[in-house]
Amino acid sequence: MRLTALILILLANIAVFAQSGRVPSAGTSPAAPSVADATVKQMFEEVNGYIRAKATEFDAKKVEFSDGLFKQTKLEQRQLAAKYAAKASLRKDLSADDQYYLGMLHWIAENLEGTLENLQKFIASESPETGRKQTARSVVTVVLAKQKKMPEAEAVLAEYLKNEPTKLTERSRIGGEMAKAYQALKDFKKMAPHADAGYTASKGLLKDATSRSRGLDEILDAGMLVYEAYRDSGELPKAEDALEDMRATAAEFEAPGFYYYAVDQKIKFLIETGRKPAAIAYYGASIGGAEKDFRSKTASADVVSRLKKREKHYKLLGEAAPELPMIDQWFPGEAKTLAAYRGKVVLLDFWATWCMPCFEAFPSLIEWHQDFKREGFEILGVTRYYGTVNGLPADTLSETADLKRFRERERLPYDFVVMKDQSAQMLYGATALPTAVLIDRKGVVRYIEAGTSSARIGQMREMLVKLLAEK
């Protein structure tokens, strides 16, 4: 997600609770406020406007609000919230309104117990302020869901839905958190309606120009929860419907990345559920469909390009893993065929010494090797000669020696092979590095993806655990 979108989302998620338009000016110093005489509400407003004030300050000083600076500013806001919450908690005779704003300070500080204690007191108070009470109910529901206290969360949610006003921002957050809680508890039947509610609210936010703050990435996350709920509860037609709705939503808002993700997910889903011919047919239809669904030729061309790059992967998924051709070196074990790994789950990791994203994947691979080796998991790294060492031309002998030193330096506990050429990469469609291929115990390709994002790593681990459970 772009940094601008992240900032807008964060501001929206906090501002929804503010119930106030007060924001510190660019000339204030939010990091060092005077709080001796400040009300709890004023403390909250200072914290709530912190990121916006800092963004304005950085803009005035021509300082680029980078991802790292954004994370640092968010941390500062959280620390400031914790500091103010601690000071406010020492005061005697807190009013109902004070309890509300103290609870919200704890919320921004990510202190769930403090949030719960104070907002529950506010809800139980005789305060007539219905807007804040609804906001408090929404936050309490989310906190209870995070704590996996689902009966309590359901009860507070029922109260929230009985009262007004309800807000799409709040409904979206509640639906998502309730769905994720039930997902963690593996109660997919109860997960589904909450995922549906969160997704519907998220789409409503996107369609409302005055509330368009969450962005398409947030809609994608909400839609995937719906898909996963129905997939894991065995309701396959509804799972497909969820992916189709995501595709249609992406087309409506001219979002090629979102569109591609929905189509790609459906193709993989069809293959994984034993419907390979339908998957290939859907792939072909989607090539033409993208050209019709988008007004922008640039957007449709983007989708078509992405899908065509995946064609090799789609054809390999669900098929027997082809043997690796043109192996020159095997480090450090004895050379063997992929067929020799039958009965084990195998991860082929296509990488190179010059590939920085490949380095980012190593810690996860090393951890999985340690955690799952006894369950029948093997990793085989796959690289090739590139004719260079440290950016300088090198012969095969020098490159081999460098690869050996590299393995020892990085402490890679698993074997890797060195190919004579790029034939193995072409065979597996590993045109981008790193590319990961998971092969099940029967020697069938079940997963192929490129990249090392946290989402990719999470998906890979999820599939790995699934394959290890299969006998």
- pLDDT tens digits for 139-192? 999 999 999 999 999 999 999 999 999 999 999 999 999 999 999 999 999 999
In a domain, 322, yes or no: no
Domain match, 143 and 220 both? yes
Structural domain containing residue 260: 235-309
Mean pLDDT of the chain: 91
Rg of the chain over CA atoms, in angstroms?
26
Query: Rounded to a whole number, what is the largest CA-CA distance in the chain?
Result: 81
Domain match, 225 and 369 both? no
Q: DSSP secondary-structure letter at 167?
A: -
- DSSP annotation string for 272-325: HTT-HHHHHHHHHHHHHHHHHH-S-HHHHHHHHHHHHHTHHHHHHTTSBPPPPP
In a domain, 50, yes or no: yes
Does residue 118 carry a pLDDT above 70? yes
- DSSP annotation string for 34-68: --SS--HHHHHHHHHTHHHHHHHHHHHTT----HH
Domain match, 160 and 302 both? no
Domain match, 300 and 389 both? no
Alpha carbon separation from 187 to 198, 220, 241, 328, 378 (Å, rounded): 17, 22, 20, 49, 31
In a domain, 317, yes or no: no
Domain match, 351 and 375 both? yes
Q: What is the CATH number of the domain that holds 394?
A: 3.40.30.10
Does residue 8 carry a pLDDT above 50? no
Tens digits of residue pLDDT in 201-220: 999 988 775 544 457 888 99
Answer whether 209's CB lies under 8 Å from 253's CB.
Answer: no
The set of long-range contacts for 108-114, using a CB threshold of 8 Å and a minimum separation of 24, is 108/14, 108/47, 108/48, 108/77, 108/78, 108/81, 109/78, 109/79, 109/81, 109/82, 109/85, 110/78, 111/82, 111/85, 112/143, 112/146, 112/147, 114/85, 114/89
Query: What are the residues facing 437 on neighbouring strands?
Result: 348, 448
Domain match, 82 and 184 both? yes
What's this model's pTM, rounded to 2 decimal places?
0.87
Coil, helix or strand at residue 350: strand
Tens digits of residue pLDDT in 90-107: 999 999 999 999 999 999
Domain match, 294 and 205 both? no
How far is the C-alpha of 272 from the C-alpha of 269, rounded, in Å?
Answer: 5
Does residue 295 carry a pLDDT above 60? yes
Q: What are the structure tokens assigned to 444, written together?
A: 């069938």
* Boundary (domain end) residue, out of 196, 231, 266: 231
Alpha carbon separation from 70 to 63, 97, 346, 371, 388 (Å, rounded): 12, 30, 39, 34, 38
Domain match, 404 and 438 both? yes
Say how many domains are in the chain: 3
Distance of alpha carbon 207 from the chain centroid: 23
Torsion angle defined by CA atoms of residues 102, 103, 109 and 110, in that order, rounded to the nearest 10 degrees: 170
